[in-house]
Amino acid sequence: MDLKKVIKAGVFGVVVGDALGVPVEFTDREDLKENPVVDMREYGTHRQPKGTWSDDSSMMLATLDSIIENGCLRYEDIMEKFCNWRMKGDYTPHGRVFDIGITCSRAIGRYRPGMDPLACGECGEYDNGNGSLMRIMPVSLYVCLDDEFWHDAMFEKAVEDSHDASVLTHGHPRSQIGCMLHTAICHELIYREGKSVLEAVRDAVIRTLDFYDKASEDYPWFNEAFSTEIEMDSYGRLRNLSAFKELPDTEIKSSGYVVHTLEAAVWCLLNTDSYADCVLKAVNLGGDTDTVGAVAGGLAGLAYGYENIPKDWLDVIVSKDWIEKLCDDFARVMA
Ligand SMILES: [Mg+2]
């Protein structure tokens, strides 16, 4: 396996999907049906030049940089880097933050040196935006590239790391489960070899939901405050992936709710067979276009490989060389 290429596929998959979605964020699906995104655009919603990526990629790249510097997941350091992004404009394409989610903003505002970073994310029912899912790729890669074969203890470690990474900003079980589903799907896609994309995603989803079905009572957050059934039902449509794939687009929502975002990304992945088609389908669903594009893009990058990401799109990405260097450095850490 070419480690560098896998990492670039995941990381640039997210960044390119994000940049395609930024100019049309909050646009209605009906409007995009009449004037669909077919290429990298500029200006639009946030009045940014072509190739500009948003908070999704900023927080993702901050996480990537932290893992490179520490060689492991150090949550204090990831939170420090989120603070530097928020306050100083680190990890932004043009030196300033033009977009931030409320839940992420509150969690970063709460963090102080010495505080437990795992106590920063709010955990109410309405704190289930897609703000941890959108930045989880480096954690998924870090956990996945450790080993091709996940025995039960490794799978549990993947659950723990995905959960903890989510909790920095999003503490509700539904957000944590969304991040673990992402990690498991990445693992299956990276090592899928002869499997189809649908088979790979199905294996990941079934193993993950089965794990929660069996292990839920072992997790402190599956107590009376959180209904196991509700959390499992939230992602229940993914249990029958062949039926889920056939749903019409009217059944697929592309809001900022974590479940909608993950479902939309998976649905686009299953109903296309290239990186470009997957991210364009995702962005043209409208709504939270940058994040649905970013999540779909990350998965499609891993499914089809770095070479499948259109070169024209990569070439306009702001700070492309710096992101590429981060990917190379991350590959050295993971080697
Ligand atoms: Mg964004």
pLDDT of residue 214: 79
Which tens digit of pLDDT belongs to each residue from 16-30? 999 999 999 999 999
What distance in angstroms lies between residue 18's CA and the mean position of ligand 1's atoms?
A: 7
Which tens digit of pLDDT belongs to each residue from 304-318? 999 999 999 999 999
Q: Helix crossing, 289-304 with 275-283: angle to 10°?
A: 170
- 225 versus 94: which is more confidently predicted? 94
pLDDT of residue 250: 97
What distance in angstroms lies between residue 113's CA and the mean position of ligand 1's atoms?
A: 26
pLDDT of residue 232: 79
Which tens digit of pLDDT belongs to each residue from 89-116? 999 999 999 989 999 999 999 998 888 9
Average pLDDT estimate for 324-333: 98
For residue 213, name the pLDDT band (cuts at 50, 70, 90): confident
What distance in angstroms lies between residue 135's CA and the mean position of ligand 1's atoms?
A: 10
What distance in angstroms lies between residue 294's CA and the mean position of ligand 1's atoms?
A: 9
Any alpha helices (H) in 134-288, and if so which ranges?
A: 137-144, 152-167, 173-190, 197-215, 228-234, 241-245, 258-270, 275-283
Task: Tell me which residue of 125, 212, 220, 123 sits closest to 168, measured CA to CA.
Answer: 123
Out of 5-9, 33-37, 41-45, pick the least confident: 41-45
Say which residue the tokens 């932290």 belong to.
Answer: 66
What distance in angstroms lies between residue 291's CA and the mean position of ligand 1's atoms?
A: 6
Say which residue the tokens 């043209």 belong to.
Answer: 284
pLDDT of residue 215: 74
CATH topology for 3-334 is: ADP-ribosylglycohydrolase fold (1.10.4080)
Which tens digit of pLDDT belongs to each residue from 147-186? 899 999 999 999 999 999 999 999 999 999 999 999 999 9
What distance in angstroms lies between residue 189's CA and the mean position of ligand 1's atoms?
A: 24
What distance in angstroms lies between residue 83's CA and the mean position of ligand 1's atoms?
A: 17
For residue 44, name the pLDDT band (cuts at 50, 70, 90): confident
Q: Where are the domains of the chain?
A: 3-334
Angle at 327 between CA 137 and CA 20, to 5 degrees: 60
The two tokens of residue 203 are 């294996």
Which tens digit of pLDDT belongs to each residue from 250-297? 999 999 999 999 999 999 999 999 999 999 999 999 999 999 999 999
What distance in angstroms lies between residue 49's CA and the mean position of ligand 1's atoms?
A: 15
Spatial separation of the C-alpha atoms in residues 267 and 238, rounded to whole Å: 9
What distance in angstroms lies between residue 27's CA and the mean position of ligand 1's atoms?
A: 14
Spatial separation of the C-alpha atoms in residues 47 and 255, rounded to whole Å: 21
pLDDT of residue 224: 53
